[in-house]
Amino acid sequence: MTRLQTYQVFPKIPERLEFLEKLARNMWWSWRLDAIELFRRVDPRLWVQSNRNPLIFATMIAQKRFERGLKDDGFLAHLDRVQKSFEKEIETPVDYSQTPYGADAQVAYFSMEFGIHESLPFFSGGLGVLAGDHLKASSDLALPMVAVGLLYRKGYFHQYLDHEGWQQEQYPETDIFHMPVRRARDPQGNELIISVEASGGLIYAKVWKIMVGRVALYLLDTNIAENPPELREITASLYPGDSAVRLAQEVLLGIGGMKALKKLGIEPAVCHMNEGHCSFVCVERIAQVMEGKNVDLQTAMEIVPRSMVFTTHTPVAAGYDEFPPDLVRPYLQEYEKRLGTDVDTILSWGQTGEKFDPHVKLSMFVLGHNFSQFCNGVSRLHGEVARGMWNHVWPQRPVEEVPISHVTNGIHIPSWISIENHMLFERYLGPDWYSTNFDTDRAERIDQIYNEEIWRAREMSRSRLVRACRSMMVRQYGRRNAPKSVMKEVESVLDPEILTIGFARRFATYKRAYMLFMDPERFEKLVGSKDRPVQFVFAGKAHPKDHEGKDLIRQVVHFSRRPGMRNKVVFLENYDINLARYLVQGVDVWLNTPRRPLEACGTSGMKAAVNGVLNLSILDGWWAEAYHPDCGWSIGNGEEYKDHAYQDQVECRALYNILENDVIPTFYDRREGDTPDRWVEMMKNSMKLVLGNFCAHGMVRNYEKDYYLPAVRNHAVLTDNNAESAGKLVAQRRRLKREWPAVRIEPPQSDIEVPFRVGDRFSVDTKVHLGALEPGEVEVELYSGSLKSVDELKNSQVTPMSAAEDLGGGTYRYTCEVVCQEAGRFGFTARVTPRGDDYLKNAPGFLTWA
Ligand SMILES: *Cc1c(COP(=O)(O)O)cnc(C)c1O
């Protein structure tokens, strides 16, 4: 058959209900339970059948349903309420000139994935869900933000299991008509098409726009007639195995994304790159700044990095993309002319050496980080791990001074809260708890909720999960044509009354899904207990190429088929946002067993905690900074091991000890009526923990305070007045480059023969040879701390030294005073850096130690 011409017919919605259509076309509905409820009310059965996609839903509804809605005044009042909120939160314009951003500054957020709702196949896992939550919170807080990504029709794979428990993958295509997208148009009203240069000619992409509350998300799509068939497939699915296609995607996202913004008339003041996939943004942004501000390459290279934010998400070096220079070269050809430099030089920006090396791959991390003054990991521990991992890029810096900080991830609570807890929060935190910043005061009100009320909410969520599991299991087994007797059994799996433990995450080996099964006897005893039984729900996908991960899934499935287990251990297929929501709301305990420190953050634990689900986890990622015995349990004390088999054994034993001695007894302690009061207290503490410290609103506020606003100011100052101050920075850097080789500093001296007492002071002197530089151009610092070993310090501290005497010939005596604050062995040394902002100080080569 030839290619079909297709068209779509939507129902005719009566005028009084027209808001429904507007609502369906803004993803805002997806985090407003009252809006979801509004759709559902039109036809509850079809709403579920449509997979909660309002556009599919609309095509299924009988016209007469709308007519009936017109006569239902309860429904109409509900509609009006939602419409009012929408007008207030989304349509009321914000006067940005009254905010610290100023009238036109915009933040552009780039990401390979966006997990907004299960109906949009633009994400694979945690990174994408985080990006989605970031946009939703930015919309709630009305930040001047736009976002850029790719439009995948097939997204990430759907998972199903065969008879043997082996994962199978399917890539169903989502119809573009079933996504609330519109073609993006330029200011003249033309449909937008952009192109990037490639080895075989141009790659074209059309640009779609989808509204996530107030935030416009632009998505590039190569499925366009201008491209030959093989190029149309570039944006078909997420993370293709072929690295050439991956590179093409990353070029489209970074270079194409920036070009799309330009054509839309958007010149971002700040670009935020969510992981190294977006790093090509730097190259195109430099070209745009050169052309738009009429400055040379050196000046643009002073402006761009000071208004760039880079977030890294993985603690494993193998998790970063790298490409052979020759593969990248054709994409950069156009920049020879636009930047006025050769491709080798541009390629060298993604390498760590001074000069371009044709045998070294281009690292997307190095490229992104090189051009970002603001760089962060996603939890405190991950920040530390990332600094250690990338210390080789700044060999002169002590590890704690590697310029990578952290902003701990947070979750967009309205997207993950159960309806039961939502109603409690509405009553106790206030009706607008949804869209406001949570603070610790507000969180304290959780304590006022009656224990019985919280516990009822918990039981309702658990029952809902059990019901959902049963219908999913029936579907799973039905598709495999399971015999009648088995079908009968799966119709009644799980028990809505008993302690339910959830484990849902990617089946990567380091997440160690096998840990529970390492001691099968102990496991069977837990599950088989008559008076204090436990049940387990598993879910998660393995990467299509990860055979080991798939084997882990198979093992779980086989275990669940043992006699006596089928009813108590289930594996649910196709872990996605919808299933995640059921799980983080419905289980009692959220189990996480990563091999520390490989879990960068682990946001699913936060989703669970805010629903009053207690975390039982290795002290890794966010849990390493959040854990407190009043809100959950830690497996071990944050140890790291060389011998992995030994580690597994130790931690498996610890896990079972906690389950048997703490978790199960606390859950079944029902002396006071039928609520386990200690458990409920821990539930409240978990909710408060996330409301106060780990919500996306707080996370976005942190990005704003530490990065966005300083970057906006940098951008304004540096581009003002024909980029005059950026020009000064160029001259400063040139001068420093020329003169720095002459800079030397002598070991600092002091009269420290006698032991000191706490409170004593002494002074330290050193001689610094500055060559042609002036003391006003440098900073001399005493670097001190307690001795870790003879040549290493910990708890280091930096004290500025001041020029005390001009010794002539470019040599100066510097001095400072040291106060002995506590007893112990201490050491110090001294160093010179340029005087300037962090971006200048962190430039390689400008740090000289004594
Ligand atoms: C939240 C979420 C994740 C990330 O959670 P982790 O704790 O990092 O595993 C992954 N997938 C889905 C569907 C999620 O909702």
Q: 112 in ligand 1 pocket by Cβ < 6 Å?
A: no
The rounded Å distance from CA 233 to ligand 1 centre is 27
What is the tens place of the pLDDT at every residue in 460-492? Answer: 999 999 999 999 999 999 998 889 998 998 999
The rounded Å distance from CA 847 to ligand 1 centre is 41
Residue extents of the structural domains in the chain: 15-91, 413-694, 743-849
CB distance 304 to 286 below 8 Å: yes
Ligand 1 atom nearest the C-alpha of 602 is 7
Quick one: which H or E segment has residue 849? strand 848-849
Q: 576 in ligand 1 pocket by Cβ < 6 Å?
A: yes
Single pTM value for the model: 0.96
The rounded Å distance from CA 605 to ligand 1 centre is 9
Q: Which residues pair with 811 in a beta bridge?
A: 769, 808
Q: Helix, strand, or coil here: 185?
A: strand
The rounded Å distance from CA 704 to ligand 1 centre is 24
The rounded Å distance from CA 314 to ligand 1 centre is 14
Among 506, 585, 604, which is best to mutate for testing ligand 1, by the most ligand atoms less than 8 A from CB? 604
CB distance 261 to 268 below 8 Å: yes
> Average pLDDT, whole number, for the chain?
94
DSSP state of 371: T
Q: 602 in ligand 1 pocket by Cβ < 6 Å?
A: yes
CB distance 157 to 239 below 8 Å: no
Q: CA-CA distance, 372 to 369, in Å (whole number)? A: 5
Q: 604 in ligand 1 pocket by Cβ < 6 Å?
A: yes
The rounded Å distance from CA 310 to ligand 1 centre is 21
Q: Dihedral sign for Cα 571, 575, 577, 578, please.
A: negative
pLDDT at 494 (0 to 100): 96
Phi and psi dihedrals of 273, rounded to 5?
-100, 115
Ligand 1 atom nearest the C-alpha of 411 is 1
Q: How many CA atoms lie within 13 A of 567 on its CB side?
A: 11
Instruction: Report angle CA 344, 349, 355 to the nearest 5 degrees.
Output: 60
Q: CA-CA distance, 336 to 339, in Å (whole number)? A: 6
**In the numeric block, which tokens belong to residue 70?**
């017109």
Q: CA-CA distance, 447 to 452, in Å (whole number)? A: 12
Quick one: which H or E segment has residue 36? helix 33-42
Among 120, 129, 543, 573, which is best to mutate for testing ligand 1, by the most ligand atoms less than 8 A from CB? 129
CB distance 260 to 192 below 8 Å: yes
What is the tens place of the pLDDT at every residue in 135-162? Answer: 999 999 999 999 999 999 999 999 999 9
Q: 113 in ligand 1 pocket by Cβ < 6 Å?
A: no
- How do beta strands 145-150 and 107-111 pair? parallel
The rounded Å distance from CA 664 to ligand 1 centre is 26
Q: CA-CA distance, 321 to 307, in Å (whole number)? A: 23
pLDDT at 673 (0 to 100): 73
Indicate the residue type of 632: G
The rounded Å distance from CA 603 to ligand 1 centre is 6
Domains 413-694 and 743-849 share a fold: no
Indicate the residue type of 52: R
Ligand 1 atom nearest the C-alpha of 592 is 7
**In the numeric block, which tokens belong to residue 380?**
């405190």
Report which protein residue has its CA nearest ligand 1's atom 1: 604
Ligand 1 atom nearest the C-alpha of 599 is 8
Residue 825: pLDDT over 90: no
Q: 32 in ligand 1 pocket by Cβ < 6 Å?
A: no
Please spell the DSSP secondary structure of 46-69, one letter per residue. Answer: HHHHTTT-HHHHHHHS-HHHHHHH
Q: 577 in ligand 1 pocket by Cβ < 6 Å?
A: yes
- How do beta strands 270-274 and 308-311 pair? parallel
Report which protein residue has its CA nearest ligand 1's atom 11: 125
**In the numeric block, which tokens belong to residue 749?**
């001296």
Ligand 1 atom nearest the C-alpha of 600 is 8
Report which protein residue has its CA nearest ligand 1's atom 9: 505
Compute the radius of gyration of the chain from its Cα atoms: 29
Q: How far are the Cα atoms of 199, 261, 836 from residue 185, in angstroms, in the given order?
A: 28, 11, 42
If you average pLDDT over residues 272-287, what whole number do you get? 98
Among 505, 507, 615, 695, which is best to mutate for testing ligand 1, by the most ligand atoms less than 8 A from CB? 505
Tell me the pLDDT band of 319, cut-offs 50, 70 and 90. Answer: confident
Q: 126 in ligand 1 pocket by Cβ < 6 Å?
A: yes
CB distance 694 to 626 below 8 Å: yes
Tell me the pLDDT band of 2, cut-offs 50, 70 and 90. Answer: low
How many C-beta neighbours within 10 Å does residue 398 have? 15
pLDDT at 223 (0 to 100): 96
CATH assignment of 743-849, among 1.10.3210, 2.60.120, 2.60.40, 3.30.70: 2.60.40
Question: Which one of 57-61, 240-244, 520-524, 607-611 scores highest in mean pLDDT?
Answer: 607-611
- CA 397 and chain centroid, separation: 27
Phi and psi dihedrals of 312, rounded to 5?
-110, 145
The rounded Å distance from CA 276 to ligand 1 centre is 20
Q: Which residues 6+ apart lie within 8 Å of 220 measured at CB?
A: 148, 149, 150, 151, 194, 205, 206, 207, 208, 235, 252, 253, 256, 257, 260
Which single residue is written with the structure tokens 């050491």?
Answer: 827
Which single residue is written with the structure tokens 């070209």?
Answer: 287
Report which protein residue has its CA nearest ligand 1's atom 5: 604
Report which protein residue has its CA nearest ligand 1's atom 4: 126
Q: 591 in ligand 1 pocket by Cβ < 6 Å?
A: no
pLDDT at 629 (0 to 100): 98
Q: Which residues 6+ apart lie within 8 Å of 30 measured at CB?
A: 36, 116, 117, 415
How many C-beta neighbours within 10 Å does residue 725 have? 15
Residue 688: pLDDT over 70: yes
Instruction: Report angle CA 611, 613, 615 to the nearest 5 degrees.
Output: 130
Q: Helix, strand, or coil here: 586?
A: helix
Alpha helix (H) ranges present in 572-643?
A: 577-586, 604-610, 623-626
Please spell the DSSP secondary structure of 662-704, one letter per residue. Answer: IIHHHHT---STTS-HHHHHHHHHHHHHHHHHSBHHHHHHHHI
The rounded Å distance from CA 579 to ligand 1 centre is 10
Q: Helix, strand, or coil here: 811?
A: strand
Q: 129 in ligand 1 pocket by Cβ < 6 Å?
A: yes
Tell me the pLDDT band of 204, cut-offs 50, 70 and 90. Answer: very high
Q: Helix, strand, or coil here: 307?
A: helix
Q: What's the CATH fold of domain 413-694?
A: Rossmann fold (3.40.50)
Q: CA-CA distance, 362 to 373, in Å (whole number)? A: 20
Burial (CB < 10 A; 0-12, 13-18, 19+), residue 199, is exposed
pLDDT at 282 (0 to 100): 98
Q: 30 in ligand 1 pocket by Cβ < 6 Å?
A: no
In the chain, the percentage of residues whose pLDDT exceeds 90 is: 85
* Range name among 217-231, 516-530, 546-560, 748-762 with the lowest pLDDT average: 748-762
Report which protein residue has its CA nearest ligand 1's atom 3: 126
Among 133, 603, 623, 695, which is best to mutate for testing ligand 1, by the most ligand atoms less than 8 A from CB? 603
Q: How many CA atoms lie within 13 A of 781 on its CB side?
A: 18
**In the numeric block, which tokens belong to residue 16?**
């009084």
* Better-predicted residue by pLDDT, 9 or 305: 305
